[in-house]
Amino acid sequence: MTATTDGSTGALPPRAAAASETDSTTPVAAGVHEAAVHAVRRATDFLLSRQDAEGWWKGDLETNVTMDAEDLLLRQFLGIREESTTLAAALFIRGEQREDGTWATFHGGPGELSTTIEAYVALRLAGDAPDAPHMAKAAEWIRAQGGIAASRVFTRIWLALFGWWKWEDLPELPPELIYFPKWMPLNIYDFGCWARQTIVPLTIVSAKRPVRPAPFPLDELHTDPDHPNPVKPLAPAATWDGAFQRLDKGLHALRKVVPRKLRRAAMRSAARWIIERQENDGCWGGIQPPAVYSLIALHLLGYDLRHPVMRAGLESLDRYAVQRGDGARMIEACQSPVWDTCLATVALVDAGVPADHPQLVKAADWMLGEQVVRPGDWSVRRPGLTPGGWAFEFHNDNYPDIDDTAEVVLALRRVKHHDPERVEKAIARGVRWNLGMQSKDGAWGAFDVDNTSPFPNRLPFCDFGEVIDPPSADVTAHVVEMLAVEGLAHDPRTRRGIEWLLAEQEPNGSWFGRWGVNYIYGTGSVVPALTTAGLPASHPAIRRAVAWLESVQNDDGGWGEDLRSYRHVKEWSGRGASTASQTAWALMALLAAGERDSKAVERGIEWLAATQREDGSWDEVYFTGTGFPWDFSINYHLYRQVFPLTALGRYVHGEPFAPTSLAEAKVAG
């Protein structure tokens, strides 16, 4: 049975579908080991050939068409939309439309209302007529789902900018939030860094309520154009939803009486906050959405498009564009060079490339130059901590992240560099920073410490994606693995992380994957960390994980997991068409658990070898990365290369680091 593309969730998830057209049942002629060696050689050559001259790797970061639609809407709002850009974006957006007229947020996923609305509006901007068959089909589906009124808040904000929705029918977001002290609920540091960077500029937009003349009506997207926003009953006052809905009503009333002087001062403070966080290349946090909203907010406050802040910001947006061979233009939500480079380095060394290979040394040089050595927003919660982390992107000194830092340290530790003292100092700073970012429960989040307030997710404004950054198993696992490699397996802080991971194991033996899809990613991260830290392969947690991975292996020998597992855990956990990256994650866990000679590993290795392309790469149309579980999915185009090479390399050459015994640590099993 293969994965459905009609959005249904009642069907049994697939177990045997392959992720490429290659016949994965073809026998591996020369034996499993020989096939793995051959695959490693080809994959190594392919990956080395993709390194930039400066030393970094970066694959495309594919998300969904809302990035492209909002880029066009921004340009329309600012009056800078060009015909060539519009046509290239429209070509990409049209190409992503499905047979039922909808757009999805991940390959093979169900149609998504807000994404379809934004794509439809973008194509209207590009000149597509509403009675064109592909547009009429989309509009019919949108109306059937409740129309614009049923879309998420962010979509209706974009429509309100052009008068297609009323500002008074949107949740209120007052700029006075900027004055809330950090101990007060709903202060801006209660939000995850990605949400914080978006919400601060949107408080200005919400206060200003701008409207640009709409270039066309959108009556066809309402179920009842005469009454586009039917009144919905409030949730009971005794519930959290009801309480926050009434809070929003109070904020709407308060808007009319807030002293103008206070509001203007709050907007100026928010603007200073935004400008202080603009990166050297003009972006904000290295991600596209905060840049878009920051440019709108500053423009509303009178910043001319020729102002240096605005000019640099607009120029940074162009760097998110990927020009495709067919003339289409895809917008990346973010770029991942640090993450891709450290993963590529790990993969190449584990695959047998000499540690002093010139390309690895060049990669190490580039990573060393990317270390963040000044405080950022994380220091609000850790004011005395010395900087030393790494970010995800080319330019993002305000928001280094714990996951990248751990993986960069693991990568640097593998390279034989000509300046070992420099490397040791950088690693020491990174380790110290990661230890200082441990949350009080013993685990690690991605960007901040103890970013676990329950209130932000309750706001009517926050109806899309995660807005807080609690600890996760995958990030914690990467830190634990790094600390163990650095000789800190017995450190009490490492032991607390291990204990947290053991307590977080699911009843079926897997771990939840916050930043990758999903239980296969979580398990593929945790098992190597625990064994590197000294847990024996016989430990009950490891055996449960092995049993689970074996139970969800596909009939073709690979592993896969659909993003529906974030919503329908029982049906989709560990289930989906086989992919190169997810097969590699499962193999990395099994190899770390001592299962090298097992039938499951042999079949997984055979699948990777059989589905490899002639040039040494793999195909992967499925999305295996996660921005927000279910809501925002990512296809990291380099995942399909680095993780299979890592798994194959460890199969051929063994585990990269000998585990450290934790017998004395007395970690509960």
Residue 476 lies in a domain: yes
Domain end: 283, 315, 331, which one? 331
Question: What burial class does residue 38 get, using C-beta atoms within 10 Å of its C-beta: 0-12 exposed, 13-18 middle, 19+ buried?
Answer: middle
In this structure, the number of other CB atoms found within 10 A of the CB of residue 48 comes to 16
Strand ranges across the sheet with 625-628 = 61-62, 632-636, 625-628
pLDDT digits (tens, 9 = 90+) for 539-556: 999 999 999 999 999 999
Decide if 371 contacts 416 (C-beta within 8 A).
Answer: no
Q: Is the dihedral of CA 388, 392, 395, 401 positive or negative?
A: negative
Q: Looking at the structure, do residues 55 and 68 belong to the same domain, yes or no? A: no
Strand partners, 365: none
At 165, give phi and psi (nearest 5°): -150, 150
Q: Which residues contact 629 (CB under 8 A, 6 or more apart)?
A: 466, 514, 518, 566
255 and 395, same domain (yes or no): no
Residues 277 and 404 in one domain: no
Do residue 181 and residue 44 come from a single domain?
no
Whether residue 48 is found in the same domain as residue 81: no
Q: Give yes or no for a contact between 411 and 346, defined as CB atoms under 8 angstroms apart.
A: yes
Reference 400, options 338, 335, 343; nearest CA is: 338
Per-residue confidence (pLDDT) for residue 11, from 0 to 100: 39
pLDDT tens, 450-467?
999 989 888 877 787 789
| Residues in CB range of 116: below 8 A, 6 or more apart | 101, 102, 103, 138, 141, 142
Question: 527 or 661, which is more confident?
Answer: 527
Q: Is 169 a domain residue?
A: yes
CA-to-CA separations, 454 to 42, 430, 469, in angstroms, rounded: 48, 30, 11
Mean pLDDT (whole number) for 276-286: 92
> CA 372 to CA 387: how far, in whole Å?
7
- The answer to whether position 201 is within a domain reads yes
Per-residue model confidence (pLDDT) at position 510: 98
Tell me which residue of 643, 649, 617, 638 sits closest to 354, measured CA to CA.
Answer: 649
CB neighbour class for 103 (10 Å; exposed up to 12, middle 13-18, buried from 19): buried
| Residue type for position 221 | L
Give yes or no: residues 183 and 110 share one domain. Answer: yes
Domains held by the chain: number = 2
Triad 44, 48, 50: Cα angle to 5°: 125
Question: Is there a contact between 313 and 278 (Cβ–Cβ < 8 Å)?
Answer: yes
235 pLDDT tier (thresholds 50, 70, 90)? confident
Q: Is 323 helix (H, G, I), strand (E, B) or coil?
A: strand
CA 531 – CA 447 distance, rounded (Å): 25
Cβ neighbour number for residue 428 with a 10 Å cutoff: 13
List of residues 6+ apart from 132 with CB closer than 8 A:
none
Identify the pLDDT of residue 661.
Answer: 43
In a domain, 15, yes or no: no
Is residue 514 within 8 Å of residue 629, measured between CB atoms? yes
Query: Is 13 within a domain?
Result: no
User: Are 368 and 275 in a shared domain?
Assistant: no
372 with 278, same domain: the answer is no
Backbone phi and psi for residue 466, each to the nearest 5 degrees, phi listed first: -80, 135
Q: What is the CATH number of the domain that holds 69?
A: 1.50.10.20
**What is the distance between the alpha carbons of residues 529 and 613, in angstroms, rounded to a whole number?**
31
Q: Tell me the average pLDDT of the chain.
A: 91
Q: How far apart are CA 116 and CA 144, in angstroms?
A: 12
Rounded CA-CA distance 499/487 in Å is: 18
What end-to-end distance do the CA atoms of the chain give, in Å? Answer: 37
Q: How far apart are CA 358 and CA 356, in angstroms?
A: 6
Provide the pLDDT for residue 13.
Answer: 45
Q: Is 21 inside any structural domain?
A: no
pLDDT tens, residue by residue, 115-174: 999 999 999 999 999 999 999 999 999 999 999 999 999 999 999 999 999 999 999 999
Domain boundary, last residue among 282, 297, 331: 331
Residues 288 and 360 occupy one common structural domain: no
Shared domain check, 469 and 440:
yes
Range of the domain at 377: 32-59+336-455+465-658
Residues 168 and 84 in one domain: yes
Instruction: Provide the annotated active-site residues.
Output: 403
42-94: pLDDT as tens digits: 999 999 999 999 999 999 999 999 999 999 999 999 999 999 999 999 999 99
DSSP 8-state class, residue 357? -
Name 430's Cβ contacts closer than 8 Å, sequence gap at least 6.
371, 388, 389, 390, 405, 406, 408, 409
Average pLDDT over residues 571-589: 97
CA distance 412 to 363: 9
Place 8 in a pLDDT band, splitting at 50, 70 and 90: very low
Q: Which of 321, 328, 201 is nearest to 271 (CA)?
A: 201
What φ, ψ does residue 548 adopt, rounded to 5°?
Answer: -65, -45
Does residue 666 form part of some domain?
Answer: no
- Structural domain contains residue 503: yes
> Does an H or E element contain 185, and which?
none
Q: Is the pLDDT of residue 9 over 50?
A: no
Using alpha carbons, list the distances in angstroms from residue 37 to 42, 528, 559. 9, 22, 21
For the chain, the 3-state helix, strand and coil shares in percent, each to the nearest 5, are 50, 5, 45
For 246-271, write each residue's pLDDT tens digit: 777 787 788 888 999 999 999 999 99
CA distance 122 to 128: 9
Q: Are residues 324 and 342 in the same domain?
A: no
Among residues 331, 366, 381, the one where a domain terminates is 331
Residue 662 pLDDT level (bands cut at 50, 70, 90):
very low
pLDDT per position as a tens digit, 311-330: 999 999 999 999 988 999 99
